[in-house]
Chain A
Amino acid sequence: MAELIVEHLSLRFGGLTVLNDICFEVHPGELFALIGPNGAGKTSVLNCISGIYRGNGVIRFRGERIDGLAPHVIAARGLARTFQHGEVFAHMSVLDNLLTGRHTRIRTNPLAEMLFLPSVRRAETEHRQAVERIINMVDLERYRHAQVGSLPFGIQKIVGFARALALDPALVLLDEPSAGLNRQEREDLARYILRAKHELKLPMIWIEHDMQMIADLADRIHVLDYGRTIAEGDPEAVLNDARVRAAYLGRS
């Protein structure tokens, strides 16, 4: 069964149609790439899935409808995401960023927290261990106590990815994780994405502009142009599709 099903998703801002009848499915453990030229509506699709935008259409996550739910409820169901510009919490340490990402998995109540009861102490230690496993996975040990705002942009993007993993997600939405990274950082990122795919068996929807990375890593590709689907399928077939080439390069 598909992890996530998007059926006939449309989104309008006033008179502007941003998304028009988008349909796709993400299968278990699949790295599903979402590509398209600037303004094609890729981020809008993610925003609809994570509940930030309200579109028309049905979105099912593990068989249950999630369209219309509040973003924090959707996240609590196990749908984590990263943001295009990182959007990490600059004034917090790497550890606190990841622990914040783990918010929905921590079950302490404010009254117990006020007194820092043994139950809170235990929970904090337990979740610290979980977060340390992720830090280990994406090689952030050196930076764990560093304030995120003081770190290079490339590391900040990794922190954003790790923060999404900290939620113990069932599906991750990656919004251009490689934007603004250099060659070396992209290679690191690709390694972490593959690790999440193989070790955690995580399905991911991945927005990306780097065609080389897409061709190398993605299992399937879905192409948008002006809010419409123009192709979907295996990387090789899609990237050689005449309409995809036309959308990216223009018609001759």
Chain B
Amino acid sequence: MFRPTPRASGYFRTTYAADAALVQTRTEKIFLLLFLIALAVLPFAAGPFILDLACQFLLASIGALSLMLLTGYAGQISLGHAGLIAAGAFTTGILARETGAPFWVTLPASALTGIVLGFLFGLPSLRLRGLYLAVSTLALHFIVVYLGGEYETKRGFSTGIVIEPPSFGGIALRDGRAWYFVLLAAAAACLLVCVNLLRSRSGRAWLAIHARETVAEALGIGIARYKLLAFVISSAMTSVAGCLFAYYRGFVSIEAFDLFLSIQYVAMIIIGGMGSLLGAILGAAFVVVFPYLIENAIRLLPNAQRLAGDIFAVNYAAFGVVMILFLLFEPLGLVGIWRRIQNYFLLWPFKQRPLAGGRT
């Protein structure tokens, strides 16, 4: 899965361990280091708006990565991911509010909620496929949002639950920059977990199930076990994202978790490119930044003042149009475009790769 892309010139590994390494050549190491430095410098160079945008993107990318694991790799559709984020956020909100539980209790509790919900809502996947499965996961969304809403009204938090920022050793996490680094670490950990799973036994089992269940089973892969595993891992990570989301906003309310959020997560993996972790990240960035782009574009129009009320509607419509355009013209998503650019420079001055399997 994570074999390196063929390089322009001869590059050979001499051990199987080196062949399995994630970062291989010196150039790759240098670029990775530069990239990490850029990520570290960003919060000091950027203003509060960009910083907030970066934090939103990091949160979204955790959700997108876990949905990609489930849908793009294991082939199980879920429309309930907003429900799982809500489950994590509400677990955190309720625990923090009712018992004053600290961060290191609410985070594992959210993960546990995700594991339980993932297991329960993974069960239908053993019998249902495609659209039918999607509808059953949709139920997850509505159940969680309903329960959250009931809690809010019964306890009189009809406007939402306010929670204190988490503190590490007595220092409360309020600063945007500190949040950026916490979320960056969480997203990086999530990415690493996905990469590791996909380059080992479980990841291959998921891909096999995605391709042909009967064949996978005849090869000795326990279908039920691996489908549930995919649901459980994906849901746990998404719930953790929900927990972080709750602390980051300092506020939990069911309004934040409407069905449109689930659609947005599905959009992230479609626009980013199915079956690619890089795609999930690119898709998350796109979906987070897109509304702001539309807003700014409308401001540039001559009658901006009169259109201000329609920004929401235009946003939804533009979002739909972009989804359709991607499905029609770039089914491989942003990652498909990225690979084409990569290939262009890799092959330059030639235009085509030599035929696959040709003598080398």
Contacts and interface: CB of A to CB of B under 8 A. Distances in A.
Q: Of A96, A142, A151, A167, which is in contact with the most chain B CB atoms at under 10 Å from its CB?
A: A96
B211 A146 contact: no
A89 B16 contact: no
Given A110-B229, A150-B357, A125 B16 contact: yes
Given A89-B207, A116-B196, A124 B357 contact: no
Contacts of B201: 99, 103, 106, 108, 113
Interface in A59-96: 70-72, 75-76, 80-81, 83, 87, 89-93, 95-96
A121 B20 CA distance: 9
A110 B202 contact: yes
Contact of B218 (A52, A113, A125, A152): A52
Contacts of B229: 110
Contacts of A80: 219
Most B-side CB within 10 Å, residue of A89, A99, A132, A152: A89
A89 B212 CA distance: 8
A100 B233 contact: no
A125 B220 contact: no
B204 A103 contact: yes
Given A108-B200, A113-B202, A100 B219 contact: yes
A110 B1 contact: no
A70 B217 contact: yes
Contact of A100 (B19, B199, B205): B205
B214 interface: yes
A52 B217 CA distance: 9
Contacts of B1: 92, 96
Given A113-B196, A116-B196, A142-B357, A103 B211 contact: no
A154 to B, nearest CB: 11
B281 to A, nearest CB: 18
A146 B359 CA distance: 13
A153 interface: no
A166 to B, nearest CB: 9
Contacts of A121: 17, 20
B17 A125 contact: yes
Contacts of B50: none
Contact of B222 (A72, A132, A152): A72
B3 A100 contact: no
B188 interface: no
Contacts of B199: 116, 124
A87 B215 contact: yes
Interface string A219-250: 00000000000000000000000000000000
Contacts of A116: 196, 199-200
24 contacts: A52-B218, A70-B222, A71-B218, A72-B219, A75-B220, A89-B208, A90-B211, A92-B1, A92-B211, A96-B207, A99-B201, A100-B205, A103-B219, A103-B220, A104-B219, A106-B201, A110-B202, A124-B199, A128-B19, A132-B16, A146-B356, A150-B356, A151-B356, A163-B219
Interface of A: 50-52, 70-72, 75-76, 80-81, 83, 87, 89-93, 95-96, 99-101, 103-104, 106, 108, 110, 113-116, 120-121, 124-125, 128-129, 132, 142-143, 145-147, 150-152, 155, 163, 167
9 A-B pairs closest in CB distance:
A75-B220, A104-B220, A150-B356, A113-B200, A116-B196, A71-B217, A100-B204, A128-B16, A89-B211
Interface of B: 1, 3, 6, 16-17, 19-20, 193, 196-197, 199-205, 207-208, 211-212, 214-223, 229, 233, 275, 356-357, 360
